[in-house]
Every structure is written in C-alpha cells, then in structure tokens.
Amino acid sequence: MDFKGSGTAGTAVSAGLRKQAKLAWDGVLDLVYPPHCLVCERHARPPLCEDCTAHFAPIPEPVCAVCGRPVEGDAPCRHCAGAPEAGGWGFDTARGAAIYEGALRHAIHRFKYGRMESLGEPLGAYLANRLVADALLSPPPPDLVIPVPIHASRERRRGFNQANVLAAPVAEMLGVPLRPGLLVRTRKTPPQVGLAPEARRSNLADAFTVPGASELAGRRVLLIDDVFTTGSTVSACARALKEAGAASVRVATLAAGG
Ligand SMILES: [Zn+2]
Ligand SMILES: [Zn+2]
C-alpha cells in the first residue's frame, strides 16, 4: 500500500474540506453580519452605497473657468489671484467632481487613511461619470491619463496610490491609456496646507520628475488627484509635465475645496 500517496491525497481532501468549511462559515457570517457600505456602515451595499453618493455635492455654479472653484458673479477668482507660482498655475484648467465635505470627505478619509482600497473603484467611477456623462471635461479628449504620484515609501506604507486607483475608471471610461509611470515623485514633502504661496513653491521644487519624456511630446494630459485644496501639488506636477513636452495639462479631482 502506498502510504505516502494516500497521505498526500488525504492532505488534499482535508485542504478541500477546510476550504469548503471556510466558505460556508463566510456565508454564515455574511448572513449574520451582512457586509455594509464602508462609508455610512448602514446599508448592506458594499463598498459604497447609492445613499452616500447621492449626498456628494457637485461644486455650485458659476465656477472659475481656470481653477474650477466657485466664484461670485464676475469677480476675479481669488484662488487664481493667489496661484502658488508667479506665472500662475502650471495646469490649463482644473475641475473637481464634488465639494470636499460630508459623505465625500468621510469616504476619502476611509479610502486613504483607513486603507480601504476597494472604495477607490466606485469613487473613481463617480469622478469618471461627472467628467464624461455630466460633461465636466470639455473637448478635446485627452491622449493620456496620469495620476498624481505619491512618494514610493508612502505608497508602500499605504499599499496603493489613491490617485492611481481613482484614475483607472476614468481612463477606462475615456478609452485612453493610464500611464502612472510617466510622472514620479522623487522627494517627500510636508503638507501644503497652511504654507504661504512662496513656501509652497519651494516646498515642491524638484519634487517630481518625468521619465520617458518622449511619450509626452505634444500630448494632451489629464492629471488625476483625490482632492484639490491649495492646488500647488497639481500645479507643480503640471509644470513638470509641460516642461517635458506635454501640449496641455488639465486636472480633474474627485473633490475640491470644502
Ligand atoms: Zn453608505
Ligand atoms: Zn480660479
């Protein structure tokens, strides 16, 4: 009798049984504790329920044609007047899908700091829908989608780059390539919020590099990030992309202001 053989078969059988038992147990857990929306934790529609997305508030019109922030009547935009660089913004235009408050703010916090990567797909789909179905992105279509990079050490710690996860559904809906490798963050920088414009500029100087600039020559880039706050990060990214030959850089963020 081949004890070794039957032993192996026995191991395979018990592994199969263990797997089945685990699946059955997961099924029981799902019945007792159904998986809930990761944001409101009320509705059994993971990872993000429609009730939560219904509470996302689009940026109220009218908005600044350049930075996309709300403006009052014909008054010049105070955000553009305080652009972080002497020559204005590095990007051509910026648009946010919704205000950075309430359910959206909570969702972004859970996604980024709670490391709930599964929230990125529905949040990215929301951004893509706003850009395409709601025509937040005016023609012509971009040639490439590039996410704002985070430093490699931060990405290792978080397990993912939030902008890259959000950008995937956008690139898919637009039918253009997603090229995260074309823009790299080479230096870690402290947060921009609270710094004066001059300090923001020096804080971000040389923080980004563009490997393989030949791919960018004459291309229209759509740059994706999670939140537009001071605008200095996307502006510095856009400047680096344009210096490397990009014809235009438009910015789209999931949230803005708030
Ligand atoms: Zn919810
Ligand atoms: Zn503006």
The pLDDT score that the predictor gives to residue 10 is 64
Q: How far is the CA of 53 from the centre of ligand 1 (A)?
A: 8
Q: DSSP secondary structure string, 8-73?
A: HHHHHHHHHHHHHHHHHHHHHHHHHS----TTTS-SS--S--HHHHHT--PPPSSB-TTT--B--T
How do residues 24-82 score in pLDDT, each as one tens digit? 877 776 666 668 899 998 887 889 999 999 999 999 988 999 999 988 877 778 888 87
The CATH number of the structural domain formed by 57-256 is 3.40.50
Helices 120-132 & 162-174 angle (0-180, nearest 10): 40
Which listed ligand is nearest to 96 at the C-alpha? Answer: 2
Which listed ligand is nearest to 44 at the C-alpha? Answer: 1
Instruction: State the pTM of this model.
Output: 0.84
| Domain residue ranges in the chain | 18-54, 57-256
C-alpha dihedral, 11 to 12 to 14 to 17, nearest 10°: 170
Coil, strand or helix at 137:
coil
Which residue, chain included where needed, has tokens 């019109």?
A: 61
The pLDDT score that the predictor gives to residue 206 is 81
The pLDDT score that the predictor gives to residue 4 is 46
Count of residues in the chain? 258
- Taking alpha carbons only, the member of 52, 189, 152 closest to residue 111 is 52
Which listed ligand is nearest to 104 at the C-alpha? Answer: 1
* Angstrom distance (rounded) from CA 1 to CA 44: 53
Q: How far is the CA of 165 from the centre of ligand 1 (A)?
A: 20
The pLDDT score that the predictor gives to residue 1 is 43
- pLDDT < 70: residue spans in the chain: 1-12, 29-34, 84-87, 190-193, 197, 201, 258
Q: How far is the CA of 43 from the centre of ligand 1 (A)?
A: 6
Q: How far is the CA of 42 from the centre of ligand 1 (A)?
A: 6
Amino acid letter for position 101: E
The pLDDT score that the predictor gives to residue 3 is 44
The pLDDT score that the predictor gives to residue 141 is 94
Burial environment of residue 164 by CB neighbours within 10 A (0 to 12, 13 to 18, 19 or more): buried
